Structure 1
Amino acid sequence: MTGFIINNLKDIVLPILTFLGGLILKWAQKVLTVSYPAKKLWKLDDGQKVSFVIANPPAAFRIDESEYTKTVYMLDYKAFMIINVFLSSIYKKLTITAEIEEEFHNRDIRDHLVLIGGPVNNPLTEKVMNLINSPLAFNSKTHEIMDNKTGTQYIAEVVDGSIVKDYGLVIRTTNPYNKENSVTIIAGSRTYGTLASAESLTMPFIKSINKKIKKNKNFAMLLGLDVPGKPEILKIYQLEA
């Protein structure tokens, strides 16, 4: 009788232990391969607030009068969603807000900031870039990304009215309006480059970035991509903490 009970208990307990072991293994794998590298790069804490400021579309397209609403570039919004979904999967208690630049009014400028779009359509990106020391920068009046160390300029290539190659720029550094928080600039020569920049701050690209930069995690990164295609990291400069 005792042997019968023990055998039945084994039949019940072993599958449960196997199932629980699988869950623990899956959790540990996610922590080691996704959560830890992501948190090492983003350096945020649960309970903090992250304010996204998205580029303004041109004035002629900014308001959809038939819907009484303001519009945004589709790829800029997609870039926001990629980072929003990724951060929300890593941090469970972040407060994330998003506004187009003209409605931001600098209310939350001391928060952790994520600025989407270059200075041509996002004036806050230009203001921040004027306050930080980055060898990679924009020509504020055009869509050129400039490497001030080499003098090289990068601009999207257009063939027969379509973009066939684009460049992205990512800058992560200290928020110049609040040294306790960070600012992340996600931009491109054109919006394909902006989208590529957002993708580069998720997996699996984060692992490559972590290998190339030191502990303070302040960096400027140039990306290139064929359209359509996946981004390639062209260069990374370490920035001062």
Structure 2
Amino acid sequence: MTGVERRLRIERTAERVTATLDRPETRNAIDQAMIDELHALCAELEADPRILILIGADGVFASGADIAQLRDRRAQDARAGINTTAFRRIRDLPMPVIAAVDGYALGGGAELAYAADIRIGTPGVRIGNPETGLGIIAAAGATWRLPQIVGEARAAELLFTGRALTGAEALQWGLLSSLHESEDLLAAAHAIADRIAANDPLATRYTKTALRAAPDAHPAIELELQAELFESPEKHRRMTAFLERRSRR
């Protein structure tokens, strides 16, 4: 996208990537260009797996899909799953995805957050799915991811009423795992990433594979993944180091 204004600001290290949604003039509304950049980022992380942190610029995660574009989309666009495809690809990334949510995370912005493995936020969060008020449904993951996260009854209330949860409510409902002040949010996301990065990357990837597997895949998938890890030199190295540390106490 040379010569085109970027929608994502990306910072990279050896074990993580931080992607900042950066369309402050639209409260980081998700347009086609941002979706294209998310696909490009996913391709990078599929080829070179690292932890992903998603955060929004200027105290807003994402106010939703870009309504100016959404208004003009037709049936064939709905069937193409423009946002759905990108968010599903984020959910399926090999390593964990952390969404650091501040301010508005509405509609497609909320669904992007739902695609993450871990969500943290601030007291100022407003997260929900107002799509039915705009004459559409939440079709980029909310109708099946949200029940997995908060349960069917609470998901139904949110999706039918279109109301937005506060940060405190989202924490109580289990939609967010912790709350932080806005100025501390990114550091809190990096602290989680630090703890993940200290573990064996392959074991972390396999844990995510097992977590995301279909119910009827268990327990066979865990046993096969564990069998591979039991043959891993890293497993032997880490367990030997553990035993040596314990013997010195």
Q: Which has the larger radius of gyration?
A: 1
What TM-score does the superposition give when structure 1 sets the normalisation length? 0.28
Give me the TM-score of the superposition, normalised by structure 2.
Answer: 0.27
Higher strand proportion (structure 1 or 2) = 1
Structure richer in helix, relative to its length:
2
Structure number with higher relative contact order (C-alpha < 8 Å, ≥ 6 residues apart): 1
